[in-house]
Amino acid sequence: MRGRLARRLTVLATVTALGATLAAAPPAAARPTDAVRPTAMGDRDGYLKVGYFTQWGIYGRAYTIKKLHDSGAAARLTHLNYAFGNVSPDGRCYVDGGPGEGDPWADYQRPVPAAESVDGVADAWGEPLNGNFGQLQKLKALHPDLRVLISLGGWSWSTHFSDAARTAESRRAFVASCIDLYLRGNLPNPDGSAGGPGALAGVFDGIDLDWEWPGSAGDVDTVFRPEDKQNFTALVAEFRRQLDAFGRTQRRHYELTAFVPANPAAIDAGYEVRKVFRNLDFATVQGYDFHGGWESVANQQSALRVPAGATEPEFSVARTIDAWLDRGAPRGKLVLGIPYYGRGWTGVTGGRNGLFGASTGPAPATWEAGYEDYKVLAAKAGRDGFRVYRDLRAGTAWLYDGTTFWTYDDPAVLVQKALYIRSQRLGGAMVWSLDGDDDRATLTKTLDLALWTP
């Protein structure tokens, strides 16, 4: 009992100290870990801090790459993953221009006005690289240590990964097409304006594989096969081989990472863990979506440990990390995923201040029922009847007003998770997605400070 109390007091003291120092954090130039760079196969100092930037976030959320810079978030990341690149039905990396899906206009064709540009200079029509990719190029000029990776797949665009990985020939062609498009930078140039040979060269520093999931069902149209498990190992090896060959011509190391699942059943169905990690620089581990509005019970979506009263079997961050370690994953290559959003239910009755209560459905929200950005949830705390509840032992927080329940990670939870990353000697933290943070980049600054290695 005394030990548990001491741990709780330590967490609370750390959170209090962090809040007092957050506004006075030293500038990027004075912070040693902002300049720390991972190199080949995880040889690094300090912790990785990986953030996903969503292509579509520039629209409704108005989260531009300039905002990423101006908020101070870019200076506190080691890696920026751009979501997403697509895989074609014939197993190639390509710029998807399909209505309602791909958006080459956002990627590299849109002339960005001065007010949204990282350097304050407007794009001109017909330049080789406009849009988000052009802004990434400008961002890297200001943050030369920031590593930018193209993330392939995601929930909606993992449809054809299994086909691309199916044979040695298909793997070679797939990997070659990705390197040609994103690293050599040979963008399509159908109308004679943006794009063209080499237009994107130098922007991306590697490739992130976000296949959801090898050997397991994903989105409704996603192809999966039992042999995906071995084929994913072979695909990762082929990426490593071709990235190294291309890197030798450029005298540099191109990084290879993967996003991997929380569910032990999905791990066993899709990953030869020891073999896969030999060729990955690191993997980001799903630490969220443990529960959501597709279920009828209000529950945690990203708890560090299983809360008391949960029905087994249950997910948690610690159980997920243990599952990967038990299967042979190296600690230093596991990067814990953290959500910048919450999951919510409405019509919630019973439970423990709403936790484990019965619901009538997902809570109304800004973009998608049952899903809300951190910045919106933070504004609800202490207002309109919403109260913040915590389970310090479990490392989880939620909002509840007697009817609506939101489970989310706030700065206090992030500090607990950072302490866990340190204690378990993990590689660092990943966040999905940066556009969920507030304009002051509160969550990103919290993680940076909590993982700072002097």
Sketch out the chain's domains with CATH numbers: 47-342+414-450 (3.20.20.80)
Alpha-carbon distance of 380 to 386, in angstroms, equals 6
- The catalytic position among 101, 116, 212, 272 is 212
Q: What is the DSSP string of 356-372?
A: T-B-SEEPP-SSBTTEE
Known active-site residue 227? no
Q: Supply the pLDDT for residue 192.
A: 80
Query: Cβ neighbours of residue 404 under 8 Å, at least 6 residues apart?
Result: 344, 345, 346, 348, 363, 386
Residue type, 284: T
SS3 readout for 244-274? HHHHHHHCCCCEEEEEECCCHHHHHHHCCHH
Q: Supply the pLDDT for residue 253.
A: 98
Alpha-carbon distance of 315 to 296, in angstroms, equals 17
Q: Supply the pLDDT for residue 45.
A: 62
Alpha-carbon distance of 285 to 40, in angstroms, equals 19
Contact between residue 400 and residue 346 where contact means Cβ atoms under 8 Å apart: no
Q: Supply the pLDDT for residue 4.
A: 42
Render each residue's pLDDT in the chain as its tens digit; 454 residues: 334 434 443 444 454 444 444 433 443 333 333 233 333 333 346 999 999 999 999 999 999 999 999 999 999 999 999 999 999 999 999 999 888 889 999 999 999 999 999 999 999 998 999 999 999 999 999 999 999 999 999 999 999 999 999 999 999 999 999 999 999 999 999 888 899 999 999 999 999 999 999 999 999 999 999 999 999 999 999 999 999 999 999 999 999 999 999 999 999 999 999 999 999 999 999 999 999 999 999 999 999 999 999 999 999 999 999 999 999 999 999 999 999 999 999 999 999 999 999 999 999 999 999 999 999 999 999 999 999 999 999 999 999 999 999 999 999 999 999 999 999 999 999 999 999 999 999 999 999 999 998 8
Residue type, 196: G
Residue 292 DSSP symbol: -
Alpha-carbon distance of 15 to 366, in angstroms, equals 29
Q: Supply the pLDDT for residue 419.
A: 98
Contact between residue 293 and residue 362 where contact means Cβ atoms under 8 Å apart: yes
Q: How many residues comprise the chain?
A: 454
Q: Supply the pLDDT for residue 11.
A: 45
Query: Cβ neighbours of residue 364 under 8 Å, at least 6 residues apart?
Result: 346
Alpha-carbon distance of 176 to 305, in angstroms, equals 42
